[in-house]
Amino acid sequence: MGKGAEPARGALSRRRFVRVGALAAAAVTAPAGCGTQDTQDRPEAATTSTTARAASPSTSAKPRPTGPRPLFLGTYTSAEGGGTGIGLATYDITTGRITGTGTLTGIGDPSYLAAHPDGRTLYAVNEREDGGVTAVRLSTGGQHKVLGTRATGGAAPTHLSVHPGGRWLLSANYGSGSVAVHPIEASGALGERTDLVTHSSPPPGPGQEGPHAHQFITSPDGGHVLAVDLGTDTVYTYRLDESAGTLRPVSQARTRPGAGPRHLTFHPGGRFAYLANELDNTVTVCAYDPATGRLTPGDPQSTGTGEGTSYPAQLLVTPKGSYAYLANRGHNSLARYAVEADGARLRLLDTVPVRGDFPRHIAFSPGGNLLFAANQKSSTVSVFHVDEKSGELRLAGEPFASPVAVCALPL
């Protein structure tokens, strides 16, 4: 939701309001490709313009890799000021310096990205009325290829993730309040959708006209998948049938009415998780039972931004589970928390200016030593060094220009 926006928005209108407001403020551009082209359920060759050395698609390994690492950047392509496809870049694992390498065109509104566990395929949502998910085969030479797009069966998908087994893609349709499952073929391409579940109950929360699924992830133990719905103030737990790709409802966790839960992040221990609540400007610590999949929300906590709302977007927890960071979009900050009692408690330490406007998405580098913030309104990506012992964040140089940066995926 955009700064100064009314909380009561329905279906796509709310997201368009946020996006248009952000695009109007975005005036910085980055290396661009040759336009956009939609795909629907068919393979298509992609156009990749490169201006620097190619990025490697392989995932992080131990010891920590040296040299440039690949970075993929999500954007909106359908409005003025947006990008022309997925931004391609590399980053230095030590300094955090980002170097643009081009744009992968042929993908409309790739606002959220996720990689296959084997690092060979990238997946993007197509956040449009006729929502889709696109698979991209990554190449060490930089000639990435779009494998095709499948319909999500809903409107405006905003999130996707790959099930840990690498055989299923999970996606959340914000506009229609539904979640979808697609099979992943051996090539990395997507098969026909195997399930689609719409959140028909409970009824929408205060000021909401319907369900708005915002995230769909897998629990750390792999036993359950959880969908966060901002419109119904509910987190839904499902069992995924890993043979058929179908979902079976298990439980529902209700937040405070009007909280607007947006994103859920698990502690590495797997017994606690943290909700970023967009509408009431809070964070919630939740207990999680891996055996039953039941999530139990606790009391709301401060985002460190004072009165009003800052549209908190997302939380990250460090690999060792010692610190957590929250992206506060309206406040243009990252709240830093100490994680205590084995994950059961968050203690607010401070807030750090993000050096950008409207940080919509944050992500760690594979080793956890760098934190990337995609700043939607300023069209920039900020990079911070993460101190493992203190959790302190230190800006790694000037932010990198990237048109309407809404997702940063470092590999």
pLDDT, tens only, 168-178: 999 999 999 99
In CATH, the number for domain 11-410 is: 2.130.10.10
| Spans of all domains in the chain | 11-410
Question: Mean pLDDT over residues 146-158, rounded?
Answer: 98
Residue 40 has pLDDT above 50, yes or no: no
Q: Place 303 in a pLDDT band, splitting at 50, 70 and 90.
A: very high
Predicted local distance difference test score (pLDDT) of residue 24: 42
> At residue 181, does pLDDT exceed 70?
yes
Report which of residues 408 and 32 the model is more confident about: 408
Average pLDDT over residues 296-308: 93
Kindly indicate the confidence band of residue 35, based on its pLDDT and cuts at 50, 70 and 90: very low
- Residues of the chain with pLDDT > 90, as a percent, come to 80
Q: Which residue has the higher pLDDT, 21 or 229?
A: 229
Q: Three-state SS string across the chain, please?
A: CCCCCCCCCCHHHHHHHHHHHHHHHCCCCCCCCCCCCCCCCCCCCCCEEECCCCCCCCCCCCCCCCCEEEEEEECCCCCCCCCCCEEEEEEECCCCCEEEEEEECCCCCCCCEEECCCCCEEEEEECCCCCEEEEEECCCCCCCEEEEEEECCCCCEEEEEECCCCCEEEEEECCCCEEEEEEECCCCCECCCCEEEECCCCCCCCCCCCCCEEEEEECCCCCCEEEEECCCCEEEEEEEECCCCEEEEEEEEECCCCCCEEEEEECCCCCEEEEEECCCCEEEEEEEECCCCEEEEEEEECCCCCCCCCCEEEEEECCCCCEEEEEECCCCEEEEEEEEHHHCEEEEEEEEECCCCCEEEEEECCCCCEEEEEECCCCEEEEEEECCCCCCEEECCCCEECCCCCEEEEC
Looking at per-residue pLDDT, the higher value among 402 and 25 belongs to 402
The answer, yes or no, to whether residue 57 has pLDDT greater than 50, is no
Question: What is the structure's pLDDT at 382?
Answer: 99
Identify the pLDDT of residue 23: 42
Mean pLDDT score across all residues of the chain: 88
Higher pLDDT, 6 or 89: 89
Q: Read off the pLDDT band of 141 (50, 70, 90).
A: confident
Whether the predicted pLDDT of 39 surpasses 50: no
Say whether pLDDT at 365 is over 80. Answer: yes
Q: Tell me the per-residue pLDDT of 266-291, one tens digit each, with 9 for 90 and over.
A: 999 999 999 999 999 999 999 999 99
The pLDDT tens digits for 59-111 are 344 456 667 999 999 999 997 789 999 999 999 999 999 999 999 999 999 99
What pLDDT does 58 receive? 35
pLDDT of residue 120: 98
Tell me, what's the pLDDT at 369? 98
